[in-house]
């Protein structure tokens, strides 16, 4: 399996997918209309900027990781090496004057940004629609692009979660991150190896956010209906929503009938059932993150004995875990399960399995 | 008599030439010294330091920094660019305020006036909008860089939190500005946005436990945001005031703290020498 995953196969797969997609595009005009809408230009720019800066960061991380490997193997060199990939010669000053070496860079940056802004402002006009009219609803009526992630979340959660609770949790979770990250390495330099787990978590969150925005911008059309990029936005399209709640789905299924689970469709059965599902999700999610935190991905094998082959421990991550306090651990688990896991899980439940709610109560639904 | 006048003028001429020679280096003039206090003699390290330390705009900088920190690939310059965009937005924003009335009768017309009649009005509005979008992007990229370099770690944890607040303020600044043209785009975006507020748990009339706590459309958190139960004249005014005064003021305070803390936490984080796994202590040190 591993033999077939290299940069050629990955690029090849991307090219093949792009070609298949391009053949299937039925309405290039629609695609152009969406991507050239002035307010969408920043997202199109981000589609290039984010991969570029990710590459720029990873490139430096790989160089640093190589240096770390060398020094780890050669303790003698570790004592004398200046420990950076940037060039260094004895006799060079370790510090340089801000005037002019930093100030000139800053000045150059302001000049470039100003030029970019002028060109952008001369070539592209800020959008202005008809005067506000409460009697004429825009369809689709979309939030500004940086909030489209939240708006897209409305599909998967009730407004009180998507619009209020989730953003608050994300904010507090971001603030909590430095306090739960007990790994002292990688402070002030790019590295992948020394901060594998933290970077995966951040990366997953950032990617999720971008994906939701891209869905909200390029895919959601009139009536917030799913149109693939290149499909015509049909204002008369009607989607027959057959979303059901999880407890109803089970109660009315063949298995549910055979097992006499009809009581799940009524309170208190459905209340208790939903509570158990959500509680179970947090438990399983916690176990999942615990596994992810400590596992040595390279040593996972699908063979007996399962205990050693499915849960091989990573020595370094074990050390980090030993430094983590119980409070740090539980705080991280809470934010990880309730945002990083809950969102994609609900997204899949809703889009693939057409499940609306998993926990229905008289006061709130999840 | 004529001789005397001639003598005096030639003496005056010589004196003027002499003095003018003294002005050939502007840095030696009293005017220059009074403004800059130091001469910018490039070869003198002390003067290079003083150029930073004795300048009110540059004194946020240290006199010297890590030699590798000026390399573009390390910081990407995103934090500084974000701040510069804030300045651009303040400048263009103040100019826009001269032409804009936050009332239902005038707001939309003022935008048309700006676009069609005010000299460079269209450029001004375009620049304000695109700088705002760019600021959201650069803020995200700045955060992304801080994550990748682990710069939020001790002793910079608190400054990261200040940064998160600044991110939220940036988004709110953009969002409150969205309504101001009073067109369909802004109106419906803000309608969608504030409709979420009515679902706030306990504080919104559509949220969990809201009705039980006596929330209606006329006293809940959404009413407070809009100054009414629909997006109308009061919402426009509130948006305007938050956008032009409230949030910039709060953001400026947080920015001051953010920049000050960078210095107090030891400048930017790197590029720092790498630390090896074998050098990590087994247990975290207490305090």
Domain boundaries, chain A: 96-127
* B62 neighbors A95 (Cβ within 8 angstroms): no
Q: Is there a contact between A160 and B208 if contact means CB atoms under 8 Å apart?
A: yes
Q: Compute the mean pLDDT over every residue in chain A, rounded to the nearest whole number.
A: 88
Stronger pLDDT, B26 or A348, i.e. the higher one: A348
Q: How far is A160 from chain B (nearest CA, A)?
A: 5
Backbone angles phi, psi at B210, to 5 degrees: -70, -60
Q: How far is B97 from chain A (nearest CA, A)?
A: 17
Q: Considering chain B, what percentage of its residues have pLDDT values greater than 90?
A: 56
Q: Give the pLDDT score at B42.
A: 67
Q: How far is CA B61 from CA A58, A124, A272, A281, B5, in A?
A: 29, 36, 60, 49, 57
Q: Which CATH architecture is the domain B72-263 placed in?
A: Up-down Bundle (1.20)
Q: How far is A259 from chain B (nearest CA, A)?
A: 34
In the predicted model, is pLDDT for residue B262 greater than 90? yes
> What pLDDT digit, counting tens, does each position of A116-164 carry?
999 999 999 998 889 998 888 888 888 888 888 888 998 888 888 888 8
Q: Is there a contact between A84 and B67 if contact means CB atoms under 8 Å apart?
A: no
Stronger pLDDT, B39 or B157, i.e. the higher one: B157
> What pLDDT digit, counting tens, does each position of A32-69 carry?
888 888 888 888 888 899 999 999 999 999 999 999 99
Q: Give the pLDDT score at B210.
A: 84
Distance CA A93, CA B64 (A): 11
With a CB cutoff of 8 Å and minimum separation 6, the contacts of A207 are none
Q: How far is A366 from chain B (nearest CA, A)?
A: 11
Predicted-complex ipTM score: 0.90
Three-state SS for A295? strand
Q: First CA to last CA across chain B, in angstroms? A: 91
A232-257 mean pLDDT: 83
* A164 neighbors B196 (Cβ within 8 angstroms): yes
Q: Is there a contact between A144 and B189 if contact means CB atoms under 8 Å apart?
A: yes
In the predicted model, is pLDDT for residue A107 greater than 90? yes
Q: Give the pLDDT score at B287.
A: 47
Q: Give the pLDDT score at A110.
A: 96
Comparing CB atoms, the residue among B63, B157, B175 nearest residue A179 is: B157
Interface mutation vs chain B, best among A99, A125, A159, A176, most B CBs within 10 Å: A99
Q: First CA to last CA across chain A, in angstroms? A: 39
Q: Compute the mean pLDDT over every residue in chain B, rounded to the nearest whole number.
A: 89
Comparing CB atoms, the residue among B125, B208, B276 nearest residue A68 is: B276
In the predicted model, is pLDDT for residue B285 greater than 70? no
Interface mutation vs chain A, best among B63, B111, B161, B184, most A CBs within 10 Å: B184
Q: Give the pLDDT score at B34.
A: 85
Distance CA A266, CA B128 (A): 55
Q: Is there a contact between A106 and B80 if contact means CB atoms under 8 Å apart?
A: yes
Q: Give the pLDDT score at A170.
A: 93
Interface mutation vs chain B, best among A178, A223, A359, most B CBs within 10 Å: A178
Q: How many CB pairs below 8 A link A and B?
A: 295
> Quick one: DSSP state of residue B38?
S
Interface mutation vs chain A, best among B198, B209, B274, B284, most A CBs within 10 Å: B274
With a CB cutoff of 8 Å and minimum separation 6, the contacts of A142 are A148, A151, A216, A217, A220, B188, B189, B192
With beta carbons under 8 A apart, name residues in chain B contacting A129.
183-185
With beta carbons under 8 A apart, name residues in chain B contacting A89.
none
With beta carbons under 8 A apart, name residues in chain B contacting A188.
149-151, 269-272
Comparing CB atoms, the residue among A50, A126, A151 nearest residue B126 is: A126
Confidence band for B35, pLDDT divided at 50, 70 and 90:
confident
Comparing CB atoms, the residue among B49, B65, B157 nearest residue A102 is: B65
Could you tell me where the DSSP H helices lie in chain B?
2-22, 30-36, 45-53, 72-75, 78-97, 107-116, 121-148, 157-179, 184-197, 221-226, 233-241, 247-264
The residue among B204, B251, B256 whose CA lies nearest residue B225 is B204
**Among B38-42, B125-129, B132-136, which stretch is predicted with the lowest mean pLDDT?**
B38-42
With beta carbons under 8 A apart, name residues in chain A contacting B131.
117
Comparing CB atoms, the residue among B76, B199, B284 nearest residue A53 is: B76
With beta carbons under 8 A apart, name residues in chain B contacting A125.
122, 126
């Amino acid at each position: 399996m591993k033999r077939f995953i290299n940069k050629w196969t990955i690029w090849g797969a991307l090219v093949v997918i792009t070609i298949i997609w391009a053949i299937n595009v039925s309405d290039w005009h629609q695609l152009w209309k969406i991507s050239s809408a002035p307010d969408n230009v920043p997202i199109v720019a981000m589609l290039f900027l984010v991969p570029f800066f990710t590459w720029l960061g990873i490139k430096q991380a790989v160089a640093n990781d190589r240096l770390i490997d060398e020094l780890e193997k050669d303790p003698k060199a570790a004592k004398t090496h200046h420990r950076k990939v940037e060039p260094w010669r004895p006799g060079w000053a370790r510090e340089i004057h801000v005037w002019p070496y930093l100030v000139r860079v800053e000045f150059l940056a302001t000049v470039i940004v100003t030029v970019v802004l002028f060109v952008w402002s001369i070539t592209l006009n800020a959008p202005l629609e008809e005067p506000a009219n409460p009697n004429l609803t825009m369809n689709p009526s979309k939030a500004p692009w940086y909030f489209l992630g939240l708006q897209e979340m409305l599909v998967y959660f009730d407004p009180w979660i998507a619009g209020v609770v989730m953003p608050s949790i994300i904010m507090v979770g971001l603030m909590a991150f430095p306090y739960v990250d007990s790994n002292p390495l990688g402070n002030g330099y790019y590295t992948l190896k020394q901060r594998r787990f933290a970077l995966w978590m951040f990366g997953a969150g950032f990617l999720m956010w971008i994906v939701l925005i891209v869905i909200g911008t390029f895919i959601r059309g009139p009536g917030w209906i799913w149109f693939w990029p290149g499909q015509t936005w049909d204002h008369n399209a009607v989607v027959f929503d057959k979303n059901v709640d999880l407890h109803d789905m089970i109660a009315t299924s063949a298995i549910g009938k055979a097992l006499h689970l009809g009581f799940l469709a009524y309170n208190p059965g459905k209340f208790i059932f939903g509570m158990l599902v959500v509680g179970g999700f947090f438990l399983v999610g916690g176990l999942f993150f615990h596994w992810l935190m400590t596992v040595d991905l390279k040593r996972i094998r699908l063979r007996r004995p399962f205990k050693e082959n499915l849960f091989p421990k990573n020595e370094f991550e074990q050390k980090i875990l030993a430094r983590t306090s119980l409070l740090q651990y539980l705080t991280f688990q809470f934010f990880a399960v309730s945002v990083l896991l809950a969102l994609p899980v609900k997204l899949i439940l809703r889009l693939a399995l057409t499940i609306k709610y998993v926990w229905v109560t008289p006061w709130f639904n999840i | 008599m004529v001789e005397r006048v001639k003598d005096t003028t030639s003496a005056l001429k010589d004196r003027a030439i002499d003095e003018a020679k003294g002005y050939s280096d502007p840095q030696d003039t009293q005017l220059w010294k009074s403004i800059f206090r130091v001469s910018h003699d490039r070869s003198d390290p002390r003067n290079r330091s003083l150029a930073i330390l004795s300048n009110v705009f540059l004194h946020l900088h240290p006199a010297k920094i890590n030699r590798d920190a000026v390399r573009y690939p390390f910081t990407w310059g995103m934090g500084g660019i974000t701040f510069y965009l804030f300045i651009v937005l303040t400048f263009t924003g103040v100019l826009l305020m001269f032409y804009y009335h936050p009332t239902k009768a005038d707001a939309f017309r003022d935008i048309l006036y700006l676009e069609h009649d005010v000299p460079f009005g269209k450029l001004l509005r375009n620049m304000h909008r695109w700088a705002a979008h760019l600021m959201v992007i650069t803020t995200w990229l700045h955060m992304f860089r801080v994550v990748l370099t682990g710069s939020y770690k001790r002793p910079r944890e608190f400054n990261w939190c200040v940064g998160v607040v600044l991110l939220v303020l940036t988004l709110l600044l953009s969002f409150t500005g969205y309504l101001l043209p009073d067109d369909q785009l802004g109106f419906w975006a803000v309608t969608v946005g504030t409709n979420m507020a009515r679902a706030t748990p306990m504080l919104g009339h559509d949220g969990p436990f809201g009705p039980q706590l006596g929330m209606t459309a006329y006293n809940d958190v959404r009413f407070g945001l809009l100054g009414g139960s629909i997006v109308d004249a009061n919402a426009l005014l509130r948006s305007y005031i938050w956008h032009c005064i409230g949030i910039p003021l709060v953001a400026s305070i947080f920015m001051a703290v953010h920049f000050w803390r960078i210095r107090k936490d030891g400048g930017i984080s790197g590029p720092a020498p790498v630390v090896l796994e074998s050098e990590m202590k087994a247990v975290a040190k207490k305090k």
